[in-house]
Amino acid sequence: MTGIRSGDGQDAVRRDLVIGVDVGGTTVKAAVFDSDGLEYSSSKRLTPRHLGPDAVITTIIDAIVELRAQLPEAARVRAVGLVVPGLVDAEQGIAIYAANIGWQQLPLRRLVAEAVGLPVVLDHDVRAAGLAELELGSGRDFQEVLFVALGTGVAAAVITRGQVFAGATGRAGELGHLPVFPEGEWCACGQRGCTETYASASALSRRYSAASGISDVSAQDVISRAVDGDPTAEGIFAEAVAALGRALVSYVLLMDPELIIIGGGMAASGEALLYPLNREVQAGLVWRPAPPISNGKFTGDAGRRGAGLLAWRALQEPGL
């Protein structure tokens, strides 16, 4: 149970709602939630990032306006939770930087709040997804969790003592940029051998294409081909598992989690990924047991669910 309830029964829950919006590099996903996390309606549209930040903001506003317009008259949207990738100053409501969308130092919370006439809370997409899994999904009843989003990039939400941890400057959880192979391939971030360079969905696809000459093979297909015995796919997938395994071994040694949750698009590969990954992490930990690694409950919907939770949380704070 999260969020506010006015105490006068089910009707009040149905009247009071929030909208959660998850802005990704590919899609903008939005949904209406009540205080129990029940989803009433949802929408998904492409992120027009090639048209620039203004077009992306317009898409966010359109998504909110459209969902609100579809609700019955008695329903009242109380707030909007908005989560975005990259660097976010949640306190100031600023989207500081996102390489895959192209905005910099954007006062996104204010811009959206003014346009839709609702209080808006802004936060980081992967931390919000981790929060959704912690409160409503696979991480329920756990206190020490690592949520890993494997998608276009690799990022994580560090959860300790039942709270999502952002770090001193909001940069905690950059599992994708742990340099796991010191002499490895260059990463777009400027370092060498980052986890993301080997283990993200785009890395699997790109590396398979470079090695085989076959383009447009998705990460999921690379994993399927590896399972089917394609030696090139096997090699690429084994390196991805090794890179991710090393990063997770480091995290386990440092933070001693009870559970590691895999989310993001690559979670769709299920046991084909989880089985070798569990084995890799167990093999990498010599003197201590490995925590279980399992899939999240919400997969691609975790971000907007977390955004909804953040909106309810913000409503409980004075001053919004």
Nearer to Zn ion, 103 or 198 (CB): 198
Nearer to Zn ion, 194 or 259 (CB): 194
Strands 154-160 and 120-124: unpaired
Bridge partners of 150, per DSSP, are 154
- Residues making contact with Zn ion (CB under 5 A): 177, 187, 189, 191, 194
Closest CA to 265 of 295, 294, 308: 295
Nearer to Zn ion, 11 or 185 (CB): 185
CB of 174 to Zn ion, least distance (A): 8
Nearer to Zn ion, 14 or 192 (CB): 192
Closest CA to 250 of 194, 187, 200: 194
Nearer to Zn ion, 175 or 302 (CB): 175
Nearer to Zn ion, 40 or 181 (CB): 181
Q: Two tokens at 164? A: 């999502």
CB of 220 to Zn ion, least distance (A): 23
CA atoms within 13 A on the CB side of 318: 0
Spatial separation of the C-alpha atoms in residues 208 and 222, rounded to whole Å? 7
Nearer to Zn ion, 191 or 282 (CB): 191
CB of 277 to Zn ion, least distance (A): 20
What is the rounded radius of gyration, in angstroms, for the C-alpha atoms of the chain? 20
Q: Give Cα 55 distance to the centre of its chain.
A: 22
CB of 314 to Zn ion, least distance (A): 32
CB of 25 to Zn ion, least distance (A): 16
CB of 97 to Zn ion, least distance (A): 14
CB of 101 to Zn ion, least distance (A): 18
Closest CA to 293 of 130, 188, 148, 154: 148
77 in Cβ contact with 32 (< 8 Å): yes
Residue 166: CB atoms within 10 A of its CB come to 18
254 in Cβ contact with 270 (< 8 Å): no
Q: Give Cα 220 distance to the centre of its chain.
A: 18
Residue 82: CB atoms within 10 A of its CB come to 31
Strands 39-46 and 163-165: unpaired
Nearer to Zn ion, 186 or 275 (CB): 186
| Cα separations in angstroms, 129 against 51, 194, 301 | 26, 22, 8
CB of 244 to Zn ion, least distance (A): 14
